[in-house]
A and B are shown apart, each in its own frame.
Chain A
């Protein structure tokens, strides 16, 4: 038995839209989201281009204050654009007020109406769209059933667990049949255990959603699990976008490198040697020319207290321990000196080396563990 896509059960509505679409626009590239969001507020400027095809899940990933939420609010119409454009399925929407946009939003803390039951929360959207009370409730019940919440239909939001509230919020957003679904930090309000479970469910629901979904998160794991494509936003601008695996392998900024746990440097390649913009040279496997990034994981770094003699690694740097922190069952050493880098080692190794802040160490990395790619 195949799981029906959400579009299937709304066949009537969907086919209407499809028919209308084929009448008006011939160009299928019009489908989906095509936005250039510009929001200026004081000294902050958001300038983000965003395109997504129906069925695609895009994650806006970035540090706090990068402008992700502003971008999301601009898409929803809650924050006016000061420039740029917003086209949804070929229709210009930048001047459409939020209540008339075919956009559904799952807010970070869900914002379920506390005075309404789960059912009435979900029925709220259809009701506003002109459905009769009975019709709206029937549709809401269907959505709750689909998200496995049928038995919680009569519950007020405060009686729902975090995971359930999140699904009610998703059902409420989906019940308006949006052409663009926005999720603001959809898993941030959940504790670690629920998060794992809800992440998997959400991934399934998003995969079934037939229109564009854009989610905002600062958690790289959420982004990589949930999204087909990542758009990394820093300081109001897109710094990198692409498939999650690609971004994880080839980060282009310190922030992304840190997120995916890589040491990242920028330099000028000349064959196998990369002369870094600041600091020493790194020997790499790839032979390249011109400006490149070099990345290697902290786990590939070997530390020594005394300068090693029998080591073939040509990448050897004198460093000083700036900080130590536990990272799962590993210890992450923050090194300063010739080449600032992060190194992972086992607790036993750290004890053996007698590592402490201020300790002088030698760091070695094999050329085969590095990865160089053009800027």
Chain B
């Protein structure tokens, strides 16, 4: 009598306050139902498809010469530039992206749906197109760049600042979407409670909303940072590929692949390590579901 056994087990569980998951697991075991092949085979192929390239990278890595390759001046230069630019791009995204997310989540205005669509566009836009668009806007003859050049003597393309701009353009939507989602999930009545206590809207945002959505902001910032670190298309289009100035890790990898494949693998390993570290950092937020 499996049924009555299950039932009494469940009753005992309830009495002891244990989670009921155990019963579910027992039920599955008792049924002994396998995974259907039409699902299992593609699933395993999919798994291999994602993992084999990474394994290949590790297998083909020139482990012996790795220390020399990684300590070369070019690698350090590219790595440092990548980290600095990605971090700066994330900072820029935070400063202007969080208020933008707040605006989208909390203020009703005509055309809000359109604005949200425009904000998300860089998410799906090919980065190269983003780079070209940035050139049209901020290049020497761009609609804004011309004015920046003539009025302030500021030139943005093909500079380190240009790298930061290109990366921020591509990465900020990740932050905005993530923060807006968190804001929408957060109870707006906390802001009302703050208002009844005498807080202006800005004070309520700073002292109540911001701390409440801090985890969402952190997650969004990590996403944006990771995206900025790997940014290639917009960077090479808008900022070019000058070692020490605009040559970030992805550009260095690409360039090295043509001349020195071993160096490319070594550089790739560094980026892989950084990615794994980011994933570990996000583990609490997204991996606990498993």
By a beta-carbon cutoff of 8 Å, the part of chain A in contact with chain B is 76-78, 97-101, 103-105, 107, 111, 113-115, 124-125, 128-129, 172-173, 176
The distance from the CB of A78 to the nearest CB of chain B, in whole angstroms, is 5
B contact residues around A99 at 8 Å (CB): 195-201
Q: List 21 A-B contacts (CB under 8 A).
A: A77-B195, A77-B196, A99-B198, A99-B199, A99-B201, A100-B198, A103-B196, A104-B197, A107-B189, A111-B193, A113-B193, A113-B194, A113-B208, A115-B212, A124-B194, A124-B199, A125-B197, A128-B194, A128-B198, A128-B200, A128-B203
Supposing A125-B198, A129-B198, A176-B198 touch, asked if A113 and B190 sit within 8 A by C-beta, the answer is yes
Question: A77 CA to B195 CA in the complex, in Å?
Answer: 9
The distance from the CB of B217 to the nearest CB of chain A, in whole angstroms, is 13
CB contact between B196 and one of A105, A114, A115 (< 8 Å): that residue: A105
Contact present for B212 and A176 (CB under 8 Å): no
B contact residues around A98 at 8 Å (CB): 192, 195-196
B80 part of interface (Cβ distance < 8 Å): no
Which of A103, A104, A113, A129 has its CB near the most chain B CB atoms (within 10 A)?
A113
B211 part of interface (Cβ distance < 8 Å): yes
B106 part of interface (Cβ distance < 8 Å): no
A contact residues around B198 at 8 Å (CB): 99-100, 125, 128-129, 176
What's the count of A-B pairs with C-beta under 8 Å? 58
The distance from the CB of A348 to the nearest CB of chain B, in whole angstroms, is 35
Question: A104 CA to B196 CA in the complex, in Å?
Answer: 6
Mark out the residues of chain B between 165 and 212 whose CB falls within 8 Å of any chain A CB in the assembled complex: 187, 189-190, 192-201, 203, 207-208, 211-212
The distance from the CB of B192 to the nearest CB of chain A, in whole angstroms, is 5
**Interface residue range, chain B:** 10 to 19
Contact present for A124 and B197 (CB under 8 Å): yes
Contact present for A114 and B212 (CB under 8 Å): yes
Contact present for B193 and A128 (CB under 8 Å): no
The distance from the CB of A106 to the nearest CB of chain B, in whole angstroms, is 10
Q: Which residue of A lies closest to B198 (CB)?
A: A128
Contact present for B192 and A128 (CB under 8 Å): no
Contact present for A105 and B193 (CB under 8 Å): yes
A contact residues around B197 at 8 Å (CB): 99, 104, 124-125, 128, 172-173, 176
What 8 pairs between A and B have smallest CB-CB spacing? A128-B198, A125-B197, A111-B193, A98-B195, A105-B196, A115-B211, A128-B199, A99-B195
Q: Which residue of B lies closest to A122 (CB)?
A: B197
A contact residues around B195 at 8 Å (CB): 77-78, 97-99
